[in-house]
Amino acid sequence: MEYTVKSGSPEKQRIGCVVAAVYASRKLSPSAKILDEVSGGVISNLVRRGEIEGDLGQTLLLHNLENTLCDRVLLVGCGKEKDITTRNFRNINQTMVKRLQASGATEIASYLTEAPVRRRDITWKIGQSIEAIDECLYEFKQLKTDKSSPRRPLRKFIFSVSGRGQLADGEIAVRNSMAISTGIKLSKDLSNLPGNICTPAYLAKQATTLQQQYPKIKTTIIDEDEMEKQGMGALLAVSRGSSEPAKLIVIEYMAGDKDQEPVVLVGKGVTFDSGGISLKPGVGMDEMKYDMCGAASVLGTLSACAELQLPMNIVCLVPTVENMPGSSAIKPGDIVTSMSGKSIEILNTDAEGRLILCDALTYAEKYNPAVVIDVATLTGACIVALGAHPAGLLGNHNPLIHDLLNAGEKSGDRCWELPLWDDYQEELDSNFADMANIGGKGAGTITAACFLSRFTKKYHWAHLDIAGVAWKSGKQKGATGRPVSLLMQYILDRFKAANQPS
């Protein structure tokens, strides 16, 4: 898809379709008013007749509107003007796309950027529009025999800005959002692949491909022999039951100053999670191919950073394994020793994500990081607590937590903080080892984060539990690409803050 920005009056756009907003109670947006005036009141007459009320989700397609240069005008209902939220704004754009896909138009001039969203500027609206459009158009057809597209697919969107003074900022917004959308697509594509294709070796190969695409990226694949030498007993324990060898993928994007401490992103990469000896129920187990969404999201984030050529230092660590109940698999009651030297009693082999993450978090120390953020489909308890809207957020550094919460609100890819109090740590006590890998029945998301926190004492750290937001179940099941938008907003905000004049 091609995206660009332009200033100009809607009736002068020589294009396949102009899109304008109508608000609830039949109120026309500024662009709709202009189109109505030049056409001799055609739009206002249709509105008075009730053809469109302006309610959220309504559309009305007009052909060959008099005294305009476009072939079509699409009116989109946006609801109450004062009540347009981030979610509503994205839905408005997706409503537009769904209607246009059947219209025959291929090039679109969108004036939906006029829609007011509280405390959001034109660059935000352009960015959200691009992400919403790309989300609506995304399809996973790699493994289908019929890969055909619509006869006349949408191919270009022009976003309206109010004047030439907004063009430069609009173009930056387009560039940033296209990179983010590309990262989201990579994350979705990897997550939607089945476990027989997307293995740890496959993920490692994709990481190596990033090195070939972007000269600032260096990829290193640490194999099981090297993990053994470095004492990564927790990570290796998970892969024992599988014929697929574990990998620790290390991707270094060092485009900043040499003395700049890097942001380290750690993504859980369990390419298929059967639960191991603590076997999961068979119903819905096909969705356990998504247990590498954390890995996919950090790979997507890093690719977006490289695409934008951000002058920052960012490291991506992906511990990746397959969790299977083979004859060599770890058993409940086994005790393993992590890279940190701490011993762990395995009470449940289905709590494997924290085992591979803890060694990666210890490995992160070598970079003397500015911050470390791990991303994982870690606990079903997070789905119970928060549902499918925000990711769970916990950490040991309040400014980092604050920045991630703000980035989530700004990007629309929200997270919600849960308490990481010492009161919960005793749930991990073990009679036989330094700790157990699970706590009691309650607060499963928190006790999982408590476990990880024991390996993050030497740096500022945050944990995103994306179990509820990384994919959708049901008829429309598939990966969402979250939290690439959140992570990119955090990184862009960090870059902006570092380059503010003092």
d(C-alpha 334, C-alpha 108), whole Å: 61
**Using CA of residue 294, residue 297, residue 303, residue 309, what is the dihedral sign?**
negative
DSSP β-ladder status, 247-254 and 313-323: antiparallel
Q: What is the pLDDT along the chain (502 residues), one digit of tens a residue?
A: 999 999 999 999 999 999 999 999 899 999 999 999 999 999 999 999 999 999 999 999 999 999 999 999 999 999 999 999 999 999 999 999 999 998 889 999 999 999 999 999 999 999 999 999 999 999 999 999 887 776 788 999 999 998 888 999 999 999 999 999 999 999 999 999 999 999 999 999 999 999 999 999 999 999 999 999 999 999 999 999 999 999 999 999 999 999 999 999 999 999 999 999 999 999 989 999 999 999 999 999 999 999 999 999 999 999 999 999 999 999 999 999 999 999 999 999 999 999 999 999 999 999 999 999 999 999 999 999 999 999 999 999 999 999 999 999 999 999 999 999 999 999 999 999 999 999 999 999 999 999 999 999 999 999 999 999 999 988 889 999 999 999 999 999 999 998 877 6
pLDDT at position 356 is 98
472-501 burial code (b ≥16 CB/10 A, e <16): eeeeeebbbbbbbbbbbbbbbbbbeeeeee
6 is catalytic: no
Euclidean distance between CA atoms 178 and 2, whole angstroms: 9
Q: Which CATH class is domain 193-497?
A: alpha beta
- Identity at 320, one-letter amino acid code: T
Tell me if residue 280 is catalytic. Answer: yes
Amino acid making up residue 109: A
What kind and span of H or E run contains 159? Answer: strand 156-161
Architecture of the domain whose range is 2-138+154-178: 3-Layer(aba) Sandwich (3.40)
Point out which residues pair with 158 in neighbouring strands. Answer: 4, 109
- CB-CB contact of 28 with 111 (8 Å): no
Question: What pairs with residue 153 in β-bridges?
Answer: none
Instruction: Report pLDDT for 150.
Output: 67
pLDDT at 499: 84
Domain ranges of the chain: 2-138+154-178, 193-497
Instruction: Identify the active-site residue in 247, 354, 410, 414.
Output: 354
Kindly report the three-state secondary structure assignment for every residue of 400-468.
HHHHHHHHHHHHCCCEEECCCCHHHHHHHCCCCCCEECCCCCCCHHHHHHHHHHCCCCCCCEEEEECCC
Catalytic residue among 33, 205, 218, 280: 280
